[in-house]
Amino acid sequence: MADTPKLSEVEHVKQASNYLRGTLAESLVNPLTGALYPDDTHLIKFHGSYQQTDRDLDSERKRQKLEPLYSLMIRVRVPGGIATPAQWTRMDALADHYGNGTLKLTTRQAFQLHGVLKRNLKKTIQGFNEALLDSIAGCGDVNRNVMCNPNPHESAVHAAVYEVSKQISTHLTPRTSAYWELWLNGESKFSSAPNEGEEDAEPIYGRTYLPRKFKIALAIPPHNDTDIFANDLGLIAIEERGQLVGFNVAVGGGMGMTFGMPDTYPRLASLIGFVPAEKVVDVCEKIVTIQRDWGNRENRKFSRLKYTLDRVGLDVFKAELDKRLGFALEPVRAYQFKSSGDAFGWSQSPDGAHHLTLFVEGGRVADRPGSQLKTALREIAAFHRGDFRLTGNQNLVLANVAPEDRLTIETILAQYGVAVATTSGLRRGALACVALNTCSLAFAEAERYIPQLIDRLEPVLAAYNLTHDDILIRMTGCPNGCARPYLGEIGLVGRAVGRYNLYLGAAFNGERMNKLYKEMLDEDGIVAELTPLFADYAQNRQPQEHFGDFLIRQGYVQATTSGLNFHE
Amino acid sequence: MSSSSSTLPIGFDEATLQQLTAGLSDRQLLWLSGYLYGRVGADTGAAASTLVTAAAPATAAAPAAPSLTILYGSQTGNSKKAAGIVAEAARQRGLAATVRDMNDYPTKDLKTEQQLLVVVSTQGEGDPPIAAEELHQFLLSTRAPKLPELRFAVLALGDKSYLQFCQTGFEFDQRLAELGAKRLVERVDCDVEFEAEAHRWAGQVLELIAESGPPVAAPVAATSAAAHVKATALPALAGGAAVELEEPVEYTSRNPFEAELLEKIQLNGRGSTKETYHLEFSLAGSGIEYEPGDALMVQPHNRPGLVQEVLDAARLDAAAPVRLESSELDLTTVLTERLELSVVTRDVLERYAALAPHYPQLREILTDKAALPAYLYGRDVADLLQEFPVELSGQQLAAVLRPLPARAYSIASSLLAHAEEVHLTVGAVRYQSNGRHKHGACSSFQADHLLIGDTARVWVDRNEYFKLPQDPSTDIIMVGAGTGVAPFRAFVEERAETGAAGQNWLVFGNPHFTTDFLYQTEWQQHLKRGTLHRLDVAFSRDQEAKLYIQHRLLEQSRRLYDQLENGAHFYVCGDKNRMAADVQRALLTVIAQESGQGEAYAADYLKQLRKSRRYLEDVY
Contact B269 A63 (CB under 8 A): no
| Three-point CA angle A176, A182, A188, nearest 5° | 60
- Asked if B614 and B482 sit in the same domain, the reply is yes
Give the Cα separation of B617 and A183 in Å (integer). 42
- Asked if B71 and B202 sit in the same domain, the reply is yes
Encode pLDDT of B40-96 as tens digits: 444 444 433 333 333 334 344 444 568 999 999 988 788 999 999 999 999 988 888
**Of A472, A529, A526, whose CA–CA distance to A499 is shortest?**
A526
**For residue B176, with 0-12 CB atoms within 10 Å meaning exposed, 13-18 middle and 19 or more buried, which class applies?**
buried
**Of B454, B417, B489, whose CA–CA distance to B262 is shortest?**
B454
Give the Cα separation of A493 and A473 in Å (integer). 11
Residues in chain B: 620
Contact B84, B194 (CB under 8 A): no
The number of domains in chain B is 4
Encode pLDDT of B581-609 as tens digits: 999 999 999 999 999 999 999 999 999 99
Q: Is B195 helix (H, G, I), strand (E, B) or coil?
A: helix
**Boundary residue ending a domain (B375, B400, B425):** B400
For B65, how many CA atoms within 13 A lie in the half-sphere containing its CB? 16
**Arithmetic mean of pLDDT, B422-445:** 95
**Residue B28 within a domain:** no
Q: Give chain A positions within 8 Å (CB) of B514.
A: 34, 66, 69, 117
Per residue, the 3-state secondary structure of B147-178, as one string, reads CCCCEEEEEEECCCCCCCCCHHHHHHHHHHHH
Q: Is B199 helix (H, G, I), strand (E, B) or coil?
A: helix
- The per-residue pLDDT for B15 is 62
**Of A13, A157, A31, A137, whose CA–CA distance to A74 is shortest?**
A137
Annotated binding-site members of A for [4Fe-4S] cluster: 433, 439, 478, 482
Encode pLDDT of A201-232 as tens digits: 999 999 999 999 999 999 999 999 999 999 99
Q: Is A38 helix (H, G, I), strand (E, B) or coil?
A: helix
**Residue B96 within a domain:** yes
With a cut of 90, say whether residue A464 has pLDDT above it: yes
**Arithmetic mean of pLDDT, A482-493:** 97
With a cut of 90, say whether residue A422 has pLDDT above it: no
With a cut of 60, say whether residue A324 has pLDDT above it: yes
Contact B527 A63 (CB under 8 A): no
Contact B504, B531 (CB under 8 A): yes
Contact A32 B535 (CB under 8 A): yes
Per residue, the 3-state secondary structure of B19-76, as one string, reads HHHCCCCHHHHHHHHHHHHHHHHHHHHHHHHHHHHHHHHHCCCCCCCCCEEEEEECCC
Contact B339, B385 (CB under 8 A): no
Encode pLDDT of B269-300 as tens digits: 999 999 999 999 999 999 999 999 999 999 99
Question: Picking from A100-109, A227-236, A461-470, B127-136, which range would have the lowest pLDDT averaged per residue?
Answer: B127-136
- The per-residue pLDDT for A117 is 97
- The per-residue pLDDT for B104 is 81
Per residue, the 3-state secondary structure of B354-395, as one string, reads HHCCCCHHHHHHHHCCCCHHHHHCCCCHHHHHHHCCCCCCHH
- Asked if B513 and B554 sit in the same domain, the reply is yes
**Of A365, A525, A535, A344, whose CA–CA distance to A429 is shortest?**
A344
Parallel, antiparallel or unpaired: strands B188-190 and B151-157: parallel
Residue A358: DSSP 8-state: E
Torsion of CA B593, B597, B599, B603, to 10 degrees: -100
**Arithmetic mean of pLDDT, B456-475:** 95
Residues in chain A: 568
Q: Is A66 helix (H, G, I), strand (E, B) or coil?
A: coil
Residue A344: DSSP 8-state: P
Contact A169, A285 (CB under 8 A): no
CB-nearest partner of A67 from B521, B527, B536: B521
**Boundary residue ending a domain (B348, B367, B400):** B400
**What CATH number has the domain bearing residue B536?**
3.40.50.80
Annotated binding-site members of A: 433, 439, 478, 482
Q: Give chain B positions within 8 Å (CB) of A65.
A: 265, 267, 278, 518-522
Q: How far is A70 from chain B (nearest CA, A)?
A: 9
Predicted confidence band of residue A188 (pLDDT cuts 50, 70, 90): low
Q: Give chain A positions within 8 Å (CB) of B522.
A: 65
- The per-residue pLDDT for B246 is 47
- The per-residue pLDDT for B210 is 87
- Is B542 at the interface with chain A, CB within 8 A? yes
With a cut of 50, say whether residue A493 has pLDDT above it: yes
DSSP H or E segment with residue B436: strand B436-439
**Arithmetic mean of pLDDT, A230-253:** 96
Give the Cα separation of A168 and A173 in Å (integer). 9
Contact B573, B487 (CB under 8 A): yes
CA A352 to chain CA mean position, Å: 31
Average pLDDT, chain B: 86
**Residue B535 within a domain:** yes
- Asked if B602 and B534 sit in the same domain, the reply is yes
- Residue ranges of the alpha helices (H) in B449-536? 486-498, 513-516, 520-529
Q: What are phi and psi of A369, to 5 degrees?
A: -55, 125
Give the Cα separation of B137 and B128 in Å (integer). 9
**Residue B253 within a domain:** no
- The per-residue pLDDT for B23 is 64
- Asked if B503 and B582 sit in the same domain, the reply is yes
- The per-residue pLDDT for B16 is 59
- Asked if B208 and B60 sit in the same domain, the reply is yes
With a cut of 90, say whether residue B383 has pLDDT above it: yes
**Arithmetic mean of pLDDT, B139-148:** 88
Parallel, antiparallel or unpaired: strands B476-481 and B436-439: unpaired
Give the Cα separation of B411 and B395 in Å (integer). 37
- Asked if B394 and B438 sit in the same domain, the reply is no
Q: What percent of chain B clears pLDDT 70, i.e. is strictly above it?
A: 84
Q: Which long-range contacts (CB under 8 A, 24 or more apart) does A193-201 make?
A: A200/A18, A200/A19, A200/A175, A200/A176, A201/A175
Q: Which residues, other chains included, contact B348 with Cβ-Cβ below 8 Å and sequence gap of 6+?
A: B340, B381, B384, B400, B401, B402
- Asked if B265 and B412 sit in the same domain, the reply is yes
CA A395 to chain CA mean position, Å: 12
ipTM of the modeled complex: 0.90
- Asked if B512 and B564 sit in the same domain, the reply is yes
Give the Cα separation of B100 and B121 in Å (integer). 15
Maximal CA-CA distance, chain A = 72
Contact A31 B523 (CB under 8 A): no
**Of A204, A229, A233, A207, whose CA–CA distance to A144 is shortest?**
A233
Q: Which residue of A has its CA nearest to B266?
A: A64
For B302, how many CA atoms within 13 A lie in the half-sphere containing its CB? 28
Give the Cα separation of A35 and B396 in Å (integer). 61
Q: What are phi and psi of B480, to 5 degrees?
A: -145, 140
**Residue B549 within a domain:** yes
| Three-point CA angle B512, B515, B520, nearest 5° | 100
Predicted confidence band of residue B238 (pLDDT cuts 50, 70, 90): very low
- Asked if B191 and B265 sit in the same domain, the reply is no
Annotated binding-site members of A for siroheme: 482
Question: Picking from A215-219, B111-115, B337-341, which range would have the lowest pLDDT averaged per residue?
Answer: B111-115
Q: Residue A346 forms beta bridges with which residues?
A: A356
Average pLDDT, chain A: 94
Amino acid at A288: V
**Residue B251 within a domain:** no
Contact B519 A33 (CB under 8 A): no
**Boundary residue ending a domain (B348, B373, B400):** B400
Q: Give chain B positions within 8 Å (CB) of A60.
A: 270
- Is B372 at the interface with chain A, CB within 8 A? no
CB-nearest partner of B266 from A32, A57, A64: A64
**What CATH number has the domain bearing residue B348?**
1.20.990.10
- The per-residue pLDDT for A105 is 97
- Asked if B448 and B512 sit in the same domain, the reply is no
Encode pLDDT of A527-540 as tens digits: 999 999 999 999 99
**What CATH number has the domain bearing residue B185?**
3.40.50.360
Give the Cα separation of B562 and B17 in Å (integer). 36
- Is B267 at the interface with chain A, CB within 8 A? yes
- Asked if B520 and B614 sit in the same domain, the reply is yes
CB-nearest partner of A66 from B520, B527, B536: B520
Torsion of CA A403, A409, A410, A411, to 10 degrees: 120
Parallel, antiparallel or unpaired: strands B534-539 and B504-510: parallel
The residues of A annotated with a catalytic role in the active site are: 75, 144, 213, 215, 433, 439, 478, 482
- Is B524 at the interface with chain A, CB within 8 A? yes
Contact A57 B517 (CB under 8 A): no
**For residue B519, with 0-12 CB atoms within 10 Å meaning exposed, 13-18 middle and 19 or more buried, which class applies?**
buried
**Residue B48 within a domain:** no
DSSP string, A236-251: EEEEETTEEEEEEEEE
**For residue B125, with 0-12 CB atoms within 10 Å meaning exposed, 13-18 middle and 19 or more buried, which class applies?**
exposed
Structural domain containing residue B344: 304-400
Q: Which residue of A has its CA nearest to B278?
A: A64
- The per-residue pLDDT for A186 is 80
Q: Residue B480 forms beta bridges with which residues?
A: B508, B573
For A64, how many CA atoms within 13 A lie in the half-sphere containing its CB? 23
Contact B521 A33 (CB under 8 A): no
- The per-residue pLDDT for B123 is 84
**Residue B468 within a domain:** no
